[in-house]
């Protein structure tokens, strides 16, 4: 942390010392509502424009919008909340950057590291949130902080686990009542499901398409086979025997247990397929299950969950969603935006419940009881999350159906694993290079080795571009 404090404070409207001084004025006790003292009110409009997504669990939006508007009314600030589809987030962000105007607060579903040149350093509110609630979850830190520029390019209120969702009745019939535990189990059980349940069109529902779920799933396969795009020091290492084996596995999974439909899936496709019983396993959040519950579909009671699958290189899953807020350099109301984000985290137990346990807190201490001392908040927050997962307050049958999520921190990691979610990793994610690599090999357009080599070269180009700008490290041990 000491090294991080040397970062560039010049981008912030106020210094960290002044920020914390003002925070103390409005915070008599830890966890109390944050009040920002404005010494330059004329420079700030009494307005806050928020752009966020349409949540996969609609109940969250029903809570969030009135929550934000009520916060504004209490402070004499006009708050506008706009929602867009998850698929439109990055295009809309690009449009606002190009126009140099738009919203004061902008929400992303994955680390927005590629937008770092266009956003403010949010070191002040990240440190203030940690002062109140203890350290942020480690995979979150890697998703909002660039160690090369020493800049907090985002502020995260939530991350979302990515378990496997499976139909217990189907898997029980083929000898796996507790679902799969390894990637090989998907093929072994998938081929048997294909034989015994011909009505299930796609026995295993892993996407190889240009959508966020495919991005996450393909990375999970890579990591579980000991492969990665970069190493811990940001050297490009994709072209490896581990990657070859991972892609060979993907080819076999596609040809034996899937069909071409997964090449054109969007982020809703696997949810819809599971709820229609057209697939028996997906790698996703709990959103499909909550949708089935909300719509009283019989399939809801048949959906169960498993943690990340184990491969020859370990057991890893990407976070399903990494919720990150940015404040553009051209924001007209950055201080209102900062104040609102801290207020949101101050009320994060309500946010988790509004999302029906979809959102996990980025600061675990934020869901602890307010009376708990700061040093104990992270542990108490994790206990609260565990208790909710072991006894789901939203009508699961059995009540402990979400138990595997209680340990999700142990098997979840960030985009960029084992390194940080740097701008090069962000661009690779936003351009879907990894699922495209799997798709090219699976369809035979390229051999496995050709697909890996071609993707590796493209990754090298992207890393080198960002290194020239000073945003990414490594390079001395890139594979060629």
**Average pLDDT along the chain:** 92
- Which of 343, 377, 399 is the endpoint of a domain? 399
Residue 406 within a domain: no
- Stretch 157-162: mean pLDDT: 98
Task: Determine how many CB atoms are found less than 10 A away from the CB of residue 24.
Answer: 10
- Shared domain for 41 and 89, answered yes or no, is yes
- Shared domain for 446 and 308, answered yes or no, is yes
pLDDT > 90 in the chain, percent: 90
Residue 477 within a domain: no
Instruction: Tell me which long-range contacts 348-355 makes (C-beta under 8 A, separation of at least 24).
Output: 348/157, 348/158, 349/384, 350/63, 350/67, 351/60, 351/63, 351/64, 351/157, 351/158, 352/158, 352/385, 352/388, 353/393, 354/59, 354/60, 354/62, 354/63, 354/64, 355/55, 355/57, 355/59, 355/60, 355/158
pLDDT band at 345 (very low <50, low <70, confident <90, very high): very high
Residue 268 within a domain: yes
pLDDT band at 34 (very low <50, low <70, confident <90, very high): very low
Write down the pLDDT at residue 37. Answer: 44
Residue 435 within a domain: yes
- Whether 28 shows a pLDDT value over 70: the answer reads no
- Shared domain for 314 and 330, answered yes or no, is no
For 284-303, how does the pLDDT look when each residue is reduced to its tens digit (9 = 90+)? 999 999 999 999 999 999 99
- Shared domain for 198 and 81, answered yes or no, is no
- Which of 399, 421, 437 is the endpoint of a domain? 399
- Stretch 183-210: mean pLDDT: 98
- Shared domain for 94 and 108, answered yes or no, is yes
Cα 428 to its chain centre, rounded Å, is: 15
Q: Which residues contact 381 (CB under 8 A, 6 or more apart)?
A: 133, 361, 363, 364, 365, 366, 367, 368
pLDDT band at 25 (very low <50, low <70, confident <90, very high): very low
Residue 475 within a domain: no
- Shared domain for 308 and 360, answered yes or no, is no
Q: In this structure, what are the phi and psi dihedrals at residue 15, rounded to the nearest 5 degrees?
A: -75, 160
Write down the pLDDT at residue 4. Answer: 40
Residue 405 within a domain: no
- Shared domain for 57 and 95, answered yes or no, is yes
- Stretch 313-326: mean pLDDT: 96
Residue 40 within a domain: yes
- Which of 399, 428, 455 is the endpoint of a domain? 399
Write down the pLDDT at residue 44. Answer: 56
- Shared domain for 174 and 134, answered yes or no, is no
For 434-455, how does the pLDDT look when each residue is reduced to its tens digit (9 = 90+)? 999 999 999 999 999 999 999 9
- Whether 412 shows a pLDDT value over 50: the answer reads yes
Instruction: For residue 272, give the CATH number of its domain.
Output: 3.40.190.10
For 348-395, how does the pLDDT look when each residue is reduced to its tens digit (9 = 90+)? 999 999 999 999 999 999 999 999 999 999 999 999 999 999 999 999
pLDDT band at 322 (very low <50, low <70, confident <90, very high): very high
- Shared domain for 99 and 145, answered yes or no, is yes
Instruction: Identify the domain containing residue 190 by its residue range.
Output: 164-318+412-468
- Stretch 333-344: mean pLDDT: 98
pLDDT band at 38 (very low <50, low <70, confident <90, very high): very low
Residue 237 within a domain: yes
- Stretch 323-343: mean pLDDT: 98
- Shared domain for 48 and 99, answered yes or no, is yes
- Shared domain for 128 and 115, answered yes or no, is yes
Question: Which range, of 2-11, 323-332, 419-428, averages the lowest pLDDT?
Answer: 2-11
The total number of structural domains in the chain stands at: 2
- Shared domain for 214 and 360, answered yes or no, is no
- Whether 245 shows a pLDDT value over 80: the answer reads yes
pLDDT band at 480 (very low <50, low <70, confident <90, very high): confident
For 50-80, how does the pLDDT look when each residue is reduced to its tens digit (9 = 90+)? 999 999 999 999 999 999 999 999 999 999 9
Beta sheet of 281-283, edge-to-edge order: 281-283, 164-167, 303-306
pLDDT band at 11 (very low <50, low <70, confident <90, very high): very low
């Amino acid at each position: 942390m000491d090294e991080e404090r040397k970062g560039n404070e010049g981008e912030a409207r106020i210094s960290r010392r002044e920020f914390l001084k003002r925070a103390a004025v409005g915070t008599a006790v830890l966890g109390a509502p944050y009040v920002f003292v404005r010494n330059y009110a004329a420079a700030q409009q009494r307005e806050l424009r928020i752009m966020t997504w349409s949540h996969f669990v609609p109940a969250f939006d029903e809570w969030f919008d009135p929550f934000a508007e009520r916060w504004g009314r209490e402070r004499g600030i006009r708050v506008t909340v706009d929602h867009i589809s998850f698929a439109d987030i990055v295009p809309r962000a690009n449009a606002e950057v190009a126009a140099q105007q738009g919203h004061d607060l902008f929400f992303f579903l994955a680390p927005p590291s590629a937008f770092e040149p266009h956003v403010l350093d949010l070191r002040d509110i990240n440190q203030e949130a940690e002062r109140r609630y203890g350290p942020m979850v480690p995979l979150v830190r890697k998703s909002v902080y660039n160690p090369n520029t020493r800049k907090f390019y985002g502020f995260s209120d939530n991350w979302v686990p990515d378990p496997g969702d499976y139909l217990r009745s189907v898997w029980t019939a083929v000898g796996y009542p507790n679902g799969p535990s390894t990637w090989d189990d998907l093929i072994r059980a998938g081929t048997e499901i294909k034989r015994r349940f011909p009505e299930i069109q796609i026995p295993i529902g892993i996407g190889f398409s240009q959508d966020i779920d495919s991005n996450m799933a393909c990375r999970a396969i890579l990591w579980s086979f000991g492969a990665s795009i970069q190493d811990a020091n940001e050297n490009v290492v994709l072209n490896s025997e581990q990657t070859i084996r991972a892609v060979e596995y993907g080819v076999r999974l596609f040809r034996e247990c899937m069909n071409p439909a997964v090449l054109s899936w969007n982020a809703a496709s696997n949810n819809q397929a599971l709820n229609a019983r057209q697939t028996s396993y997906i790698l996703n959040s709990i959103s499909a299950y909550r949708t089935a519950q909300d719509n009283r579909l019989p399939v809801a009671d048949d959906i169960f969950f498993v943690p990340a699958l184990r491969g020859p290189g370990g057991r890893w899953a990407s976070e399903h969603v990494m919720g990150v807020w940015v404040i553009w350099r051209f924001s007209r109301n950055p201080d209102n935006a900062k104040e609102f984000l801290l207020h949101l985290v101050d009320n994060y137990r309500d946010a988790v419940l509004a999302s029906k346990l979809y959102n996990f807190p980025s600061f675990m201490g934020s869901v602890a009881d307010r009376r708990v001392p700061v040093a104990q908040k992270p542990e108490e927050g994790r206990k609260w999350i565990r208790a909710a997962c072991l006894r789901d307050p939203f009508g699961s049958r059995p009540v402990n159906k979400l138990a595997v999520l209680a340990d999700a921190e142990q098997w979840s990691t960030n985009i960029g694993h084992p390194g940080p979610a740097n701008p090069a990793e962000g661009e690779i994610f936003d351009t879907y290079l990894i699922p495209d690599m799997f798709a090219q090999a699976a369809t035979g357009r390229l051999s496995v080795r050709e697909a890996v080599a071609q993707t590796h070269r493209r990754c090298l180009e992207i890393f080198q571009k960002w290194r020239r700008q000073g945003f990414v490290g490594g390079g001395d041990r890139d594979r060629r």
